[in-house]
């Protein structure tokens, strides 16, 4: 058996202490150390993923101002396609919010000059001051303008259809308000317009004086503007006058006969001739409007049995004249005794 010397014992104790130290390093608070390692690895991966990336962002374009003497007639880009390079975390936040519009101010620009989009202004709109703008499309556009002019043009009402049967529409009585409207815009478009027409007005549906609010037809010309969208059109409708004779003769009624009397007229029917607007006369003839002839017994003395030269009343539509043949008749207001005597006379 080999005896261990003092040197061997020292080495043994040293190795034991080292094993204990390493054990403490790896096993003491093992959960905390493992969590720290996981966090460190995660942060490392995130940093690697968050390195510089590129993304395309659309920025809307709006014409904000131009000289008061000019009209822009060129093609303004609707959006700018901007390619941006930055850390993905910053780009993601930029993509989540809508970009503010790029306002184009053309004051000071003349026709056929070039407008160049400012990258620094785009960077400010996107809110990514640290980003690198790789490209902007389109990067510029040609400014095309024309002088702004204005003029007053006549309004022409447009009619379709024919007036209803029995009606006339005097064209010289038509009124348009306003009769003229202001148009303005690019000189090349304004000079093409001599008048403005309204949308169609259907005459076949009008049977009385009418005031209509009618839209204007805007010419299909670019960069042309009209101050008014609608005008008022006043149409006078005149009914033709005519005359009709009601066939067969019309019965004459007696109103308000005393309760203890019997009332009648002779003759009990008359021929009626009406004069007035033809559409109204046609409705009377077709019995769509009322016509009634009557004698009111309250207007006569009930003690007198016979009244001569009685003129019947004619209930008819307004604006219609009524003529009767014969023009007068006789009204009888008889007591029961008078009726009995009359019946006896007829019996003989």
DSSP 2: P
pTM of the model: 0.60
Q: 347 φ, ψ to 5°?
A: -70, -30
Closest CA to 159 of 143, 142, 176, 147: 176
Cα 325 from Cα 329, distance rounded (Å): 10
Q: So what's the pLDDT on residue 348? A: 55
Query: In the predicted model, what is the mean pLDDT of the chain?
Result: 87
Q: What are the tens digits of pLDDT across the range 222-256? A: 999 999 999 999 999 999 999 999 989 999 999 99
Q: So what's the pLDDT on residue 1? A: 46
Q: So what's the pLDDT on residue 50? A: 47
CA distances from 122 to 79, 82, 132 (A): 12, 8, 11
Contacts of 12 (CB under 8 A, 6+ apart): 4
Q: So what's the pLDDT on residue 91? A: 75
CA distances from 68 to 33, 224, 295 (A): 73, 15, 80
Q: Which residue ranges of the chain lie beneath pLDDT 70?
A: 1-52, 343-348
Closest CA to 183 of 151, 220, 143: 151
Closest CA to 319 of 287, 279, 285, 286: 279
Q: With beta carbons less than 8 A apart as the criterion, state whether 53 and 87 touch.
A: yes
Return the sign of the alpha-carbon dihedral for residues 254, 258, 264, 265. Answer: negative
Determine whether 53 is exposed, middle or buried from the number of CB atoms within 10 Å of its CB (0-12, 13-18, 19+). Answer: middle
Q: Catalogue all structural domains in the chain, each as residue range(s) with its CATH number.
A: 52-143 (2.170.120), 147-239 (2.170.120.40), 241-347 (2.170.120.30)
Q: So what's the pLDDT on residue 4? A: 53
Q: 38 φ, ψ to 5°?
A: -60, -45
Q: What are the tens digits of pLDDT across the range 186-204? A: 999 999 999 999 999 999 9
Tell me which H or E stretch contains 188.
helix 187-190
């Amino acid at each position: 058996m080999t005896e261990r010397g003092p040197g061997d014992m020292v080495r043994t104790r040293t190795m034991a202490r080292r094993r204990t130290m390493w054990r403490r390093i790896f096993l003491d608070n093992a959960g905390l150390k493992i969590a720290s390692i996981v966090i460190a690895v995660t942060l490392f991966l995130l940093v690697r993923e968050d390195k510089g990336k590129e993304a395309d962002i659309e920025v809307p374009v709006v014409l904000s101002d131009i000289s008061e003497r000019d009209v822009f007639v060129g093609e303004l880009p609707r959006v700018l396609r901007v390619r941006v390079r930055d850390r993905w975390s910053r780009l993601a936040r930029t993509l989540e919010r809508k970009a503010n519009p790029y306002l184009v101010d053309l004051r000071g620009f003349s026709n056929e000059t070039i407008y160049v989009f400012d990258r620094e202004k785009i960077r400010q709109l996107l809110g990514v001051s640290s980003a690198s703008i790789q490209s902007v499309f389109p990067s510029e556009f040609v400014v095309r303008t024309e002088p702004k002019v204005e003029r007053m043009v006549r309004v022409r009402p447009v009619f379709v259809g024919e007036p209803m049967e029995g009606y006339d529409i005097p064209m010289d009585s038509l009124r348009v308000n306003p009769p003229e409207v202001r148009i303005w815009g690019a000189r090349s478009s304004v000079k093409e317009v001599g008048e403005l027409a309204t949308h169609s007005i259907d005459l076949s549906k009008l049977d009385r004086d009418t005031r209509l609010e009618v839209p204007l037809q805007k010419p299909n010309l670019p960069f042309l503007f009209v101050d008014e969208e609608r005008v008022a059109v006043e149409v006078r409708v005149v009914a033709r006058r005519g005359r009709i004779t009601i066939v067969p003769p019309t019965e004459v009624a007696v109103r308000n006969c005393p309760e203890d009397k019997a009332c009648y007229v002779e003759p009990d029917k008359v021929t009626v001739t009406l004069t007035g607007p033809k559409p109204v006369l046609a409705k009377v003839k077709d019995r769509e409007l009322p016509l009634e002839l009557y004698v009111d017994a309250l207007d006569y003395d009930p003690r007198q049995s016979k009244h001569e030269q009685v003129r019947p009343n004619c209930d008819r539509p307004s604006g219609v004249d009524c003529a009767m043949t014969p023009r007068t008749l006789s009204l009888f207001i008889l007591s029961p005794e008078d009726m009995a005597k009359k019946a006896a006379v007829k019996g003989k």
